[in-house]
């Protein structure tokens, strides 16, 4: 039998050979954890009980413990014969033991490796000890985090943490002796901040700085240590620090890097098999991508804890799951500078690529603009054949060799199309990460469009090894879509949020010293700290102003950010200031030709006027982008824009819109719309409305639902104010289509729906009325309001029968067929949809999602009406006719529903892979039902424990169901009850069956009635009820199935009766 092994670092686990062991419930796992920590020694039963329940065990705790022991023995010895003694988990009187060797438990292997390293250090072999200690620190994970708060875990974790801290300090000494000083600087900076009285750490820190050529910083570290020791405990530095200071001043040779030391280009993780290229590839101009060379000049002051946290996230991602760190703080706190410094240090210490995607404060920015920058930058790294295939996909419509192109797709994309696109983007980065480690930075996340945020969550959820995500975020952010994304990210185990707070007085003093080359007076530091609140941007600006005055002794400090910006603008000509105002409204990045055109000036004249602004540090006219420029900081741009008078701002917006008018690219069209809207009454209203409608359509087709809602909402408001009913109708219906595409029919705003119906009726648009009423019907069916759905379906059918418009006809008959299905009329649904839901013929005017819905219900109805063979054949024909992933996913959702209703678990498992692919969380509202049925099939085919765990993870059945039911919940309750019957949990199964019957009575959704009675019969049979009772239930199920024209269910019922030896209900 393969050997057992156990993991307790990072979480509890057990493996038999390479196969993981399912360890059961949390309390059963807590039992095993205590036995592993005992290292083979017997543990008394009362100690195990106390470890599980603390001071309040239940009355029958001993019985429960015995059950846990039994469950563990079955799990750890799956092939042990009944009634043979366990050789793995032993009984000792009233206790138990789990004999293990040091090699079987990860934590014991770690401590053994630490002991070997300590021995080598005692022998003076630092070179031999360094890799062992690095491996110890790399392998360390928190001990049994799932049991945090339980006494047995916390005591053991505290002991292990102390050992690891000792290993960390020993590692610093070994690595310093071995010449690995570059990466040590970041770590030691954090350690001295955490343990400021440890003179040994200060010696190592100063030595590392000196070896990097930063002599002044090394002396500054010693000075800081001297001050802290004097302030905290009233002592002078010890002889090691004093000697080191003298040696640094004398450039003592022994401080140099040891000659036998390895090169400075160390990798972050010593156990990487393929660290990637030795130098980062060339960057792609204009895409905000940094492939950073080592730069030993720190760009931030303080922030040692934050830098260390970012460093640890990169370190963990190199060998484990990819991590996500969100850095948040107020404007000007230094979030971007912090991330930039962390990226610089990581790129200087390891072979990795830092990719920047910068979100912009521009409602007209292209959808997924930060990802256009990131993905465009990695395209040149791909094999030419792979790149050609990629550019022929929907992703290629968004990014081509770093150039933004957005040709709209043929139709309004649905949710499946959206996430297919996201999968393509994630696959692209996964492919790059296989050859080069990545840090992906999303800067200013508060401005990201909804699609960018959704893609961020989608990619982060993959947890790709070697990929670390950093994001900067202004706090607080009032946008709901940002809050939703942050909540999604917070569920990832590797997620971390860092708050960048105010600078301390010491940090302010150091920042002023850097700007002015002299130490400030205490009164000046106190005044600046009081006025700025420690905001890094504000402090730096004031330090520069004071330095320019030639003295920093005064206490006169500007009172706010606007005053600081005004100080920068002092001395600039009125013409330059006017250009800067115009530029601030254009956006974060400013095209020089656009600015000159809007200002009605020649480009060379505009450049001459901007030159003083570059000299004053207001804008950056660097060589990276010869066609444009950016403001030195967003706060500067915002302050300038906020200071423009309202009427002047409207005129400037109109000038920008007019300057953009000749550009027909999607991005320019959207920008024109926003500037026309901001111009208010100065712009022609019809022109503004048309531009907003176009911008909304582009936003929807590029998955920017948040932006589409804004553009279309403004268009509808403006059209209504001018009495343009046709334009208002287009705006509202397009907005409704976007809501359906993003969230489903039930998410459509009923107020907008009613307004659209009123307008369509007034304008006599029967096709649009049918489309709107179909959406209303589908929405009511999706929320299990069968009565309203039936009334709307009947009305749609009557219109369909009188109309010669194919769209009106098909939508009406689709609604009628789907309505018949939900009311349990499988035969009627089959007959309607067989005619009006063609498999391989599209109907002009119908959307893909409408046809896919009708085809799916057609196939499910046919399966239940005609039987398994006919159903599988029809689904296979549909799969052949529509092989794209979106259609395969949709067919799989319907296939598992049909198969589970007929009890065909193997068919469900065959269809399951299309549903259980990566990114399930992003499509939760579509996938949840399919995932549940997949785990039903796993339970029915023997994987009962795992299936029950996953079913629980998918959410409790009753959450919100009483007040907000969803279609299919009653059917799922019956399937879940069937799983519980198989698990022997008969009382719980009976409860779910009662709730399923109540759901059907309350909602009128009847398609699950016969199936529910079949499960009721299974429950009665398992519960030992008399054959007459079971037979009567089966007979009722058969009668119901016959009334529903469900011949497939009739055959299942007859087969069950034969299996149980009952008289056939027929």
Pick the closest to residue 799 from 816, 786, 824, 782 (CA basis): 816
Lowest mean pLDDT of 466-480, 488-502, 554-568, 995-1009, name the range: 554-568
The answer, yes or no, to whether residue 504 has pLDDT greater than 70, is: yes
Collapsed DSSP state (helix, strand, coil) of residue 864: helix
Q: Which two tokens stand for residue 172?
A: 């610093």
Contact 573, 609 (CB under 8 A): yes
Average pLDDT over residues 924-947: 82
pLDDT at 842: 85
- The answer to whether domain 289-499 has CATH 3.40.50.150 is no
The dihedral region occupied by 149, where left means phi > 0, alpha psi between -120 and 50, and beta the remainder, is left
Give Dmax over CA atoms of the chain in angstroms: 105
pLDDT, one tens digit per residue, over 736-746 is: 888 777 676 76
Which residues fall within 8 angstroms of residue 829, CB to CB, at 6 or more apart?
Answer: 817, 818, 820, 821, 857, 858, 861, 865
Q: 1036-1058 burial string, b = 16+ CB within 10 Å, else e?
A: bbbebbbebbbbbbbebbeebbe
Collapsed DSSP state (helix, strand, coil) of residue 1065: coil
User: Domain 573-685, what fold?
Assistant: Arc Repressor Mutant, subunit A (1.10.10)
The answer, yes or no, to whether residue 306 has pLDDT greater than 60, is: yes
pLDDT at 1064: 65
pLDDT at 401: 36
Integer Cα distance of 546 and 521 in angstroms: 12
Integer Cα distance of 596 and 591 in angstroms: 9
Confidence of residue 1037 (pLDDT cuts 50, 70, 90): very high
Average pLDDT over residues 585-597: 91
- Most trustworthy range by pLDDT among 277-286, 353-362, 833-842: 833-842
**Does pTM surpass 0.85?**
no
The count of C-alpha atoms lying within 13 angstroms of the C-alpha of 85, restricted to the half-sphere facing its C-beta, is 4
Integer Cα distance of 574 and 577 in angstroms: 5
Place of tokens 């690219």: 665
Number of H helices and number of E strands within the chain? 46, 17
The answer, yes or no, to whether residue 277 has pLDDT greater than 80, is: no
The answer, yes or no, to whether residue 924 has pLDDT greater than 50, is: no
**Burial (CB count <10 Å: 0-12, 13-18, 19+), residue 231:** exposed
Average pLDDT over residues 108-119: 89
Integer Cα distance of 406 and 376 in angstroms: 13
Contact 211, 181 (CB under 8 A): yes
Phi, psi of 10 (to 5 degrees): 85, -5
Integer Cα distance of 55 and 62 in angstroms: 14
Integer Cα distance of 6 and 397 in angstroms: 48
Contact 1013, 1033 (CB under 8 A): yes
Confidence of residue 607 (pLDDT cuts 50, 70, 90): very high
DSSP letter (8 states) at residue 9: B
pLDDT at 180: 67
Q: Which two tokens stand for residue 1033?
A: 């239930």
Integer Cα distance of 1031 and 1020 in angstroms: 10
The answer, yes or no, to whether residue 939 has pLDDT greater than 60, is: yes
User: What is the strand order of the sheet 589-591 is part of?
Assistant: 589-591, 628-631, 619-620
pLDDT, one tens digit per residue, over 315-355 is: 888 877 888 999 999 888 889 989 998 888 888 777 788 99
Confidence of residue 376 (pLDDT cuts 50, 70, 90): confident
Give the angle subtended at the CA of 570 by the CAs of 568 and 572, to the nearest 5°. 100
The pairing of beta strand 495-499 with beta strand 324-329: parallel
Summary mean pLDDT of the chain = 83
Give the angle subtended at the CA of 640 by the CAs of 637 and 642, to the nearest 5°. 105
Which residues fall within 8 angstroms of residue 1048, CB to CB, at 6 or more apart?
Answer: 863, 864, 865, 866, 867, 868, 871, 901, 902
pLDDT, one tens digit per residue, over 382-411 is: 666 666 666 666 666 555 433 343 334 434
Contacts 24+ apart (CB under 8 A), 644-647: 644/581, 644/584, 644/585
pLDDT, one tens digit per residue, over 200-254 is: 888 888 888 888 878 878 888 898 888 888 877 777 788 888 888 888 887 888 8
What radius of gyration, in Å, describes the C-alpha atoms of the chain? 34
Contact 971, 938 (CB under 8 A): no
Sign for the pseudo-dihedral over CA of 577, 578, 581, 585: negative
Place of tokens 């009125």: 574
680 vs 475, residue with greater confidence: 680
Give percent helix, percent strand, percent coil of the chain, each to the nearest 5: 65, 5, 30
Question: Distances from the Cα of 146 to the Cαs of 75, 323, 779, in angstroms?
Answer: 20, 19, 41
Average pLDDT over residues 751-763: 90
The answer, yes or no, to whether residue 1003 has pLDDT greater than 90, is: yes
Confidence of residue 436 (pLDDT cuts 50, 70, 90): confident
- The answer to whether domain 4-104 has CATH 1.10.10.10 is yes
If you write DSSP's letter for every residue of 191-225 in order, what string do you get?
A: HHHHSTT-HHHHHHHHHHHHHTT-HHHHHHHHHHH
pLDDT, one tens digit per residue, over 178-204 is: 776 676 777 788 888 888 888 888 888
pLDDT at 185: 79
185 vs 644, residue with greater confidence: 644
pLDDT at 1048: 95
Our measurement of the distance from residue 236's CA atom to the centroid of its chain's CA atoms, rounded to an integer in Å, reads 50
pLDDT at 919: 41
Collapsed DSSP state (helix, strand, coil) of residue 462: helix
pLDDT, one tens digit per residue, over 680-697 is: 999 999 999 999 999 998
The answer, yes or no, to whether residue 782 has pLDDT greater than 80, is: yes
Average pLDDT over residues 931-960: 77
Integer Cα distance of 167 and 107 in angstroms: 14
Integer Cα distance of 1032 and 1048 in angstroms: 20
- Most trustworthy range by pLDDT among 471-485, 734-748, 845-859: 845-859
281 vs 200, residue with greater confidence: 200
Sign for the pseudo-dihedral over CA of 389, 395, 401, 405: positive
pLDDT, one tens digit per residue, over 135-178 is: 888 888 899 988 888 999 998 998 898 888 888 888 888 877 77
Do 289-499 and 573-685 agree at the fold level? no
The answer, yes or no, to whether residue 551 has pLDDT greater than 80, is: no
pLDDT at 683: 95
Integer Cα distance of 523 and 786 in angstroms: 74
The answer, yes or no, to whether residue 292 has pLDDT greater than 80, is: no
The length of the chain is 1066
Average pLDDT over residues 835-843: 89
Q: Which two tokens stand for residue 11?
A: 């979480």
The answer, yes or no, to whether residue 598 has pLDDT greater than 90, is: yes
- For the chain, which residues make up each domain, given as ranges? 4-104, 289-499, 505-557, 573-685, 892-1059
pLDDT at 288: 35
Integer Cα distance of 839 and 880 in angstroms: 10
- Most trustworthy range by pLDDT among 22-31, 96-105, 748-757, 896-905: 896-905
Cis geometry, peptide bond prior to residue 692 (ω within 30 degrees of 0)? no
Give the angle subtended at the CA of 788 by the CAs of 784 and 790, to the nearest 5°. 90
Lowest mean pLDDT of 259-263, 604-608, 664-668, name the range: 259-263
**Angle in degrees, 0-180, between the axes of helices 685-701 and 725-743, rounded to the nearest 10:** 20
**Burial (CB count <10 Å: 0-12, 13-18, 19+), residue 679:** buried
Q: Which two tokens stand for residue 652?
A: 């400037």
Our measurement of the distance from residue 58's CA atom to the centroid of its chain's CA atoms, rounded to an integer in Å, reads 40
Place of tokens 């054959």: 1027
The answer, yes or no, to whether residue 494 has pLDDT greater than 90, is: no
């Amino acid at each position: 039998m393969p050997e057992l092994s156990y993991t307790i670092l990072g979480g509890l686990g057990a493996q038999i050979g390479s196969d993981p062991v399912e360890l059961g419930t949390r309390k059963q796992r807590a039992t095993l954890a205590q036995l592993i920590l005992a290292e083979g020694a017997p543990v008394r039963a009362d100690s195990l009980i106390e470890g599980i329940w603390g001071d309040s065990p239940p009355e029958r705790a001993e019985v429960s413990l015995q059950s846990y022991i039994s469950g563990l023995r079955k799990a750890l010895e799956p092939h042990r014969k009944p009634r043979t003694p366990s050789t793995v988990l032993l009984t000792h009187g009233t206790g138990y033991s789990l004999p293990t060797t040091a090699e079987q438990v990860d934590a014991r292997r770690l401590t053994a490796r630490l002991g070997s390293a300590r021995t080598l250090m005692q022998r003076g072999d630092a070179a031999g000890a360094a890799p062992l200690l690095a491996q110890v620190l790399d392998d360390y994970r928190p001990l049994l985090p799932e049991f945090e708060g339980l006494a047995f875990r916390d005591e053991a974790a505290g002991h292990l943490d102390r050992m690891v801290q000792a290993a960390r300090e020993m590692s610093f000494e070994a690595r310093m002796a071995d010449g690995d000083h570059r990466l040590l600087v970041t770590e030691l900076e954090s350690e001295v901040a955490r343990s400021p009285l440890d003179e040994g750490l200060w010696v190592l820190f100063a030595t590392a700085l000196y070896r990097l050529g930063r002599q002044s910083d090394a002396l500054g570290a010693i000075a800081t240590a001297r001050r802290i020791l004097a302030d905290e405990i009233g002592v002078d530095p010890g002889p090691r620090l004093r000697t080191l200071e003298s040696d640094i001043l004398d450039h003592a040779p022994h401080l140099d890097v040891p000659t036998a030391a390895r090169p400075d280009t160390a990798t972050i993780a010593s156990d990487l098999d393929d660290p990637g290229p030795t130098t980062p590839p060339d960057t792609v101009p204009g895409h905000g991508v940094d492939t950073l060379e080592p730069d030993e000049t720190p760009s931030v002051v303080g922030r040692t804890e934050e830098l260390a946290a970012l460093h640890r996230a990169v370190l963990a991602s190199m060998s484990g799951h990819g991590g996500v760190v969100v850095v948040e703080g107020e404007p000007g706190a230094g979030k971007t500078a912090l991330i930039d410094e962390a990226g610089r240090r990581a790129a200087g210490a390891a072979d990795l690529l830092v990719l920047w995607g910068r979100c912009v404060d521009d409602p007209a920015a292209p959808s997924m603009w930060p990802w256009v920058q990131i993905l465009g930058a990695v395209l040149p790294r791909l094999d030419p054949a792979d790149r050609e295939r990629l550019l022929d996909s929907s992703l290629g419509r968004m990014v081509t060799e770093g150039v933004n192109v957005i040709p709209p797709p043929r139709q309004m994309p649905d949710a499946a199309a959206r996430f297919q696109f996201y999968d393509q983007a994630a696959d692209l980065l996964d492919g790059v990460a296989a050859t080069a480690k990545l840090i992906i930075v999303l800067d200013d996340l508060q401005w990201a469009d909804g699609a960018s945020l959704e893609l961020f969550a989608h990619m982060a959820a993959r947890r790709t090894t070697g990929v670390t995500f950093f994001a900067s975020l202004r706090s607080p952010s009032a946008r709901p879509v940002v809050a939703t994304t942050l909540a999604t990210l917070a569920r990832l185990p590797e997620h971390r949020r860092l708050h960048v707070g105010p600078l301390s007085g010491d940090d302010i003093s150091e920042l002023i010293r850097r700007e002015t080359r002299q130490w400030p007076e205490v009164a000046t530091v106190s005044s600046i700290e009081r006025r700025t609140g420690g905001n890094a941007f504000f402090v730096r600006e004031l330090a520069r102003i004071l330095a320019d005055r030639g003295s920093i002794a005064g206490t006169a400090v500007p009172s706010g950010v606007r005053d600081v910006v005004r100080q920068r603008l002092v001395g600039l000509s009125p013409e330059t200031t006017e250009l800067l105002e115009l530029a601030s409204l254009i956006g974060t990045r400013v095209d020089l030709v656009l600015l000159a055109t809007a200002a009605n000036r020649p480009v060379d004249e505009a450049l001459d006027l901007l030159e003083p602004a570059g000299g004053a540090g207001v804008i950056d006219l660097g060589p990276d982008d010869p066609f444009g420029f950016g403001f030195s900081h967003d706060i500067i741009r915002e302050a300038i824009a906020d200071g423009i008078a309202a009427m002047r701002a409207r005129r400037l917006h109109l000038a920008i819109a007019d300057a953009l008018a000749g550009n027909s690219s999607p991005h320019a069209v959207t920008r024109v719309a926003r500037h026309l809207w901001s111009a208010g009454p100065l712009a022609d209203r019809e022109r503004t409305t048309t531009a907003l409608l176009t911008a909304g359509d582009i936003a929807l087709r590029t998955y920017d639902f948040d932006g589409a809602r804004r553009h279309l909402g403004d268009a509808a408001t403006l059209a209504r104010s001018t009495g343009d009913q046709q334009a208002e109708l287009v705006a509202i219906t397009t907005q409704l289509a976007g809501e359906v595409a993003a969230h489903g029919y039930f998410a459509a705003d009923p107020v907008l729906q009613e307004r659209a119906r009123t307008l369509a009726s007034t304008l006599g648009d029967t096709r649009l009325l049918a489309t709107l009423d179909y959406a209303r019907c589908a929405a009511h069916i999706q929320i299990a309001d069968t009565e309203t759905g039936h009334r709307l379906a009947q009305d749609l059918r009557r219109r369909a029968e009188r109309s010669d418009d194919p769209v009106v006809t098909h939508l009406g008959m689709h609604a009628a067929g789907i309505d018949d299905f939900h009311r349990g009329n499988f035969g009627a649904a089959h007959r309607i949809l067989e005619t009006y839901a063609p498999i391989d013929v599209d109907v002009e005017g119908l959307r893909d999602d409408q046809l896919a819905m009708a085809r799916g219900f057609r196939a499910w109805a046919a399966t239940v009406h005609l039987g398994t063979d006919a159903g599988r054949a029809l689904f296979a024909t549909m799969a052949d006719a529509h092989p794209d992933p979106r259609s395969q996913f949709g067919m799989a959702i319907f296939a598992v529903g049909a198969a589970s209703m007929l009890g065909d678990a193997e068919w469900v498992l065959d269809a399951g892979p299309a549903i259980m692919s990566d990114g399930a969380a992003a499509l939760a509202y579509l996938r949840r039902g399919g995932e549940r049925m997949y785990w039903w099939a796993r339970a029915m085919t023997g994987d009962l424990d795992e299936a029950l765990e996953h079913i629980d993870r998918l959410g409790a059945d009753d959450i919100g169901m009483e007040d907000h039911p969803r279609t299919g919940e009653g059917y799922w309750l019956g399937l879940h009850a069937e799983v519980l019957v198989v698990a022997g949990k008969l009382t719980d199964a009976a409860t779910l069956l009662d709730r399923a019957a109540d759901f059907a009575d309350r909602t009128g959704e009847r398609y699950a009635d016969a199936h529910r009675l079949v499960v009721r019969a299974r429950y009665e049979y398992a519960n030992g009820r008399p054959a007459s009772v079971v037979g009567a239930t089966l007979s009722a199920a058969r009668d119901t199935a016959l009334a529903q024209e469900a011949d497939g269910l009739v055959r299942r019922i007859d087969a069950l009766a034969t299996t149980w030896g009952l008289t056939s209900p027929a």
